[in-house]
Structures are given as structure tokens and as C-alpha cells.
Chain A
Amino acid sequence: EAQVTQNPRYLITVTGKKLTVTCSQNMNHEYMSWYRQDPGLGLRQIYYSMNVEVTDKGDVPEGYKVSRKEKRNFPLILESPSPNQTSLYFCASRQASNQPQHFGDGTRLSIL
């Protein structure tokens, strides 16, 4: 089954404790993205990747890092999480830039 898998689905942690949210897709897609979703603000793109070792900033990249060492995985790294990064996060992938995105089920992060 074609899918985008995120882990963990839920996480409560404390300020400053590094965390990684993993994202994996089994569709051999070239393009992958991370979004955060906050009430009243909709979906905002954090980072995106057009292929292995090719990443770029989206609209809200501050406080986040990503890597794309292999095609299927695109982890989101919060080196020093802060409470303003409490949000619902979605990973997405697509085969080409004019193709629709496939989204994961989301990761709800709470930073205390």
C-alpha cells in the first residue's frame, strides 16, 4: 500500500531536548516536504526536498533542520525545541512537482 509514515504520532517533551520526527515513503517519490499546522494559520511549509541531498527552506524554517540522505526518508530535526514549536506536523511526498502530494497522518508535538 502506498503510504507516507510518520513517527512518532504523538510526543510530549521539554524545552531544549533534541528530537527527531521520522518520515518515510514507499512510493519512490522524488519530492518531500514538511508542514506544520496551527489553528487559524493553516498549513505552512517548513522545508522541502527535491531529491537526495537537495533540500531548501519553506516559509517557516527557523528552529528546524532536515536531511535527505536516501530517497525514502526525510527526517525533521528540532535541535533545541521551544514551546512555540508545539504544533501538528505533516510530512508529504510526490513524484513530480506538478503531481499531487501524499500526506502522512501527522505528528502532534507538545513542547513544555
Chain B
Amino acid sequence: LAKTTQPISMDSYEGQEVNITCSHNNIATNDYITWYQQFPSQGPRFIIQGYKTKVTNEVASLFIPADRKSSTLSLPRVSLSDTAVYYCLVGASGRAAGNKLTFGGGTRVLVKP
């Protein structure tokens, strides 16, 4: 299974862009990269998922280089409510791959006023 490594914490200010990089050197060919957000005492919530290049939705962008050994979650113009822990998850696709998933340690993002 691909192990993931993320920074433990990051501080930012309201209105700034936050970029969190996740390393996954042993990512397999059929692995997807998924990012989740978690607030205290709540379950993780899906933010974005990608396989390669760039993916963008209404809340974030995900950049994946050609070698796929890392990925960067980009949160544009953060607000105080974006203060949370962000997890990078690498997991396999396809029924044969099963459902075994490995979360990174998470990055605690603190947005200051």
C-alpha cells in the first residue's frame, strides 16, 4: 500500500491561498488520490479526488504531477471556517483491488483573522 506523508501543520490568514502537499512515492498504477477535511468531533468530509494532472471543483484544486509521487491540494482564499485537519488518501480502484485504504497523518490548517 502506498504510504502518504503530509506536513503536520500549516498556518495561514484569511483570504490567502493554502497549498498542502502529500507525498506518496509508492503509489500504484490504479490508485486514486483523495482529500478529506475533518472538523473536531466530526467524520471526515470529501473535498476532491483525482488520478492525474489537475482537478478543480467549487472548493479546491488538486494538482498531480506526471510521476504521481505527490499531490498538492490548493484551497483558494481561505476563511476562518476552513480551519480543520486535511487528510490525503491513496487507494486502489477496481473490485480486484479491494477496499484497503491508507490515510496520511493529516495536516492541521489554522486560518487566522
Q: Mark A90-101, 1 if CB is under 8 A from B, else 0.
A: 101000011011
Verify A56–B43 contact, CB threshold 8 A. no
Q: Mark B74-97, 1 if CB is under 8 A from A, else 0.
A: 000000000000010001111101
Let me know if B13 is at the binding interface, CB within 8 A: no
Determine the residue in chain A with the shortest Cβ distance to B99: A48
Bound CA span A48–B46, Å: 18
Bound CA span A42–B104, Å: 7
Let me know if B98 is at the binding interface, CB within 8 A: yes
Determine the residue in chain A with the shortest Cβ distance to B106: A42
Q: Which of B44, B92, B93, B97 has the most CB of A within 10 A?
A: B44
Verify B100–A58 contact, CB threshold 8 A. yes
CB distance from B41 to the nearest CB of A (A): 7
Bound CA span A105–B100, Å: 21
In the complex, what residues of B have CB within 8 A of residue A48's CB? 98-101
Determine the residue in chain A with the shortest Cβ distance to B85: A42
Let me know if A44 is at the binding interface, CB within 8 A: yes
